[in-house]
Structure 1
Amino acid sequence: MKLDSKLFDRIRVRPDPQAKVKSGAPDCQWDGCGEAGLHRAPVGRLREGEYFCFCLDHVRQYNKGYNYFSGLADSEVARYQKEALTGHRPTWAMGAKSATRSSPDIADKRSGRAGYYRRVRDPFNLFGDAEPSRPRARKAKPLEAKALETLGLDEKATGADIKARYKELVKRHHPDANGGDRGSEDRFRDVIQAYRVLKQSGFC
């Protein structure tokens, strides 16, 4: 073969498809390696969602020695595997006997005993108590409390109170009613914003 042949001038080398990716990739995190870290490897237990970046050779080496359960006792590993069968969610025994055995209150309810109903919270007097207990009032969050304060109301205000107060303040501070007063216009804007917050929160 002649080294000065014209065929050598026509040879085209296919570009590396990952060259563009490698240029913006982080360096391999393996000590002493200068390759691009294109491959992710999990950090370990209790650090889910975090990854090391290794080159191909070092990620293979890391994965060979990786053990998610390192440092755990055999009993803890067995418990984790058992809980993994149900997606780490709580489970209950199935069947009529197991339900009665696990919860005596269910047996009381089936037998019609009044003791079961005495132990149940009854905020709306469904079981006919002489004095119905009122449901707990909802506590306002800081933003909702500030909105109520802007309208000049407290946490005990009902939806009707909020709407009535909103209409009153809008009429009082509307720019047309105050000749374009800047202070009144700012107050008008605050009232509208406060009412919007309370409406989105379900107060009215």
Structure 2
Amino acid sequence: MKIASPYFDSIRVKPEDDRRAKARPGMRVCGFKGCACEATHRAPLGRDREGEFVWFCLDHVREYNATYNYFAGMNDAAVAAYQKDAITGHRPTWSMGVNSWNKKGRRPEPHVHMGPRGAADPFGMFDGETWRPQGASQPEPEGRLIRNAERKALSALNLDIHATATEIKARFKELAKRLHPDANGGDRSREDKLREIIQAYNYLKSVGFC
């Protein structure tokens, strides 16, 4: 069909406003002033009016959202304080153990704690047991707690969990010297193992093993 055809002259396109769906009887009308289209999308009213919304048609809700700013009117300090409170859902928080104290000190215990010495023991269940009064500190277990990551790092250095700091340092220097390319005629085939040794040593050093 040629562009100069008279058929093109008979095609009439409605304006954009006429093509948008008008609100049907009983339906919600767009909240934008002067718009009579059906409101199909809701938008928040803003700060201090949480849970309240205004309804728009698709075109006007896009326009509203493009300029919406929840923090409008707040300075940088107020915005930072709001974001900090949002981490806890804007709920009050207390320091660890604060609820167990009052202005006069620790609240009185609701009942008396009794140890094995103050209770009947007809079956001898507590014979030979060392009774520790309430509030006494638990004795520290002998040795150091070894985590899996520390076991793995020690294993990479071919050491057991009882290795001392001096032994760890000496083993690291020995392996690093043995695996370095300069000690192997420039051969880099063992660089992965060398990298593993360095990472293991650095980890043990960071956790205070050496």
Shorter-chain TM-score tier: 0.3 to 0.5
TM-score by length of 2: 0.41
Answer 1 or 2: which has greater helix percent.
1
